[in-house]
Amino acid sequence: MTFSLTVLGSNAAVPAYNRNLSAHLLNINERFFLIDCGEGTQFQLRKYHVSYHRIKHVFISHLHGDHFFGLIGLLNSMHMLGRKEELHLYAPPMLEEILDIQFQASQTQLIYPLIFHPLRVDQPEIILEEERVLVHSFPLKHSIPTCGFVFREKNPPRKVPQARSFAYCSDTGYFEDILPNIQQVLVLYHEATFMQELAAAADEKFHSTAIEAATIAKKANAGKLLLGHFSARYDDLRPLVDEARTVFPESYAVEEGITLKIG
Ligand SMILES: [Zn+2]
Ligand SMILES: [Zn+2]
């Protein structure tokens, strides 16, 4: 069974150095889960030859623009391209109103069912359970309500004895409260907006440094750490990765368009 991640966007706030805004595509057994949808995501999907129709579930971590301004365009394109299948959207409650007003203004009546699942931003919860996958959300520490997500494989095939798992910790300050939700995850994505010299700024803006992300990975006994959501001030990401590796050697900067096999 496939369990892989393709990163479509890795920059924070604004695009820079050919890096796009947050978007991640998880493939579990050829079912596609889109996690965050920054502006430009549909172009990235096209660029990497992902059919929009294969996306069944979309997860939006929070309502800062760099994480969801690409959504209305993607939903509209699915409509224009004649989508028939349901699309499930998991997001903070206010997104439903935002989409409604956008569709009202453009007099768009979607031709496919869009099923909205409001996230609880105050406590962890199971948000999706299927035969092969279980998805939890959990609160992060950010300037507006924000959720992380963890995807865990159920009933792994015998030849893959360890259940595969992926956790996504979008924008967040250093926050040990998340540890019970992500313990022993095989691959942890954690934002690393800044280097350690800007730790005070990171704290003030509810973002993390690469070392803080690595500390979370270490305390969670994660298998591998993917760093992302880089500040536009960094062109070269190697110093960030080097800092993270002083705490957690299995740290890597995400690279857009590369598909990482999990497990
Ligand atoms: Zn962000
Ligand atoms: Zn944010």
Confidence of residue 156 (pLDDT cuts 50, 70, 90): confident
Q: Which of 36, 66, 203, 235 is catalytic?
A: 66
> Relative to the alpha carbon of 145, which ligand is closest?
2
> Relative to the alpha carbon of 62, which ligand is closest?
2
- 221 Cα–ligand 2 center, Å: 26
- 229 Cα–ligand 1 center, Å: 7
- 226 Cα–ligand 2 center, Å: 18
- Average pLDDT (74-100) is 98
- 217 Cα–ligand 2 center, Å: 20
Residue-wise pLDDT tens digits, 171-219: 999 999 999 999 999 999 999 999 999 999 999 999 999 999 999 999 9
- Average confidence score pLDDT of the chain: 96
pLDDT of 160 above 70: no
> What residues sit around ligand 2, an ion, with C-beta below 5 angstroms?
64, 171
pLDDT of 12 above 80: yes
Strand ordering across the sheet containing 114-118: 114-118, 87-91, 55-59, 31-37, 23-28, 3-9, 259-261
DSSP annotation string for 19-52: B-BSEEEEEETTEEEEEEE-TTHHHHHHHTT--G
pLDDT of 224 above 90: yes
pLDDT score for 157: 72
- 160 Cα–ligand 1 center, Å: 34
> Relative to the alpha carbon of 67, which ligand is closest?
1
Query: 95 Cβ partners below 8 Å, 6+ apart?
Result: 60, 63, 68, 71, 89, 116
- 10 Cα–ligand 1 center, Å: 10
Q: Is 236 a catalytic residue?
A: no
Instruction: Give the span between the Cα atoms of 78 and 52, in whole angstroms.
Output: 7
Residue pair 38/70 in contact by the 8 Å Cβ criterion: yes
> Relative to the alpha carbon of 205, which ligand is closest?
2
pLDDT score for 19: 96
- 60 Cα–ligand 2 center, Å: 11
> Relative to the alpha carbon of 141, which ligand is closest?
2
pTM over 0.95: yes
Confidence of residue 162 (pLDDT cuts 50, 70, 90): confident
- Average pLDDT (92-120) is 98
- 182 Cα–ligand 1 center, Å: 20
> What residues sit around ligand 1, an ion, with C-beta below 5 angstroms?
64, 66, 171
Confidence of residue 155 (pLDDT cuts 50, 70, 90): confident
Confidence of residue 251 (pLDDT cuts 50, 70, 90): very high
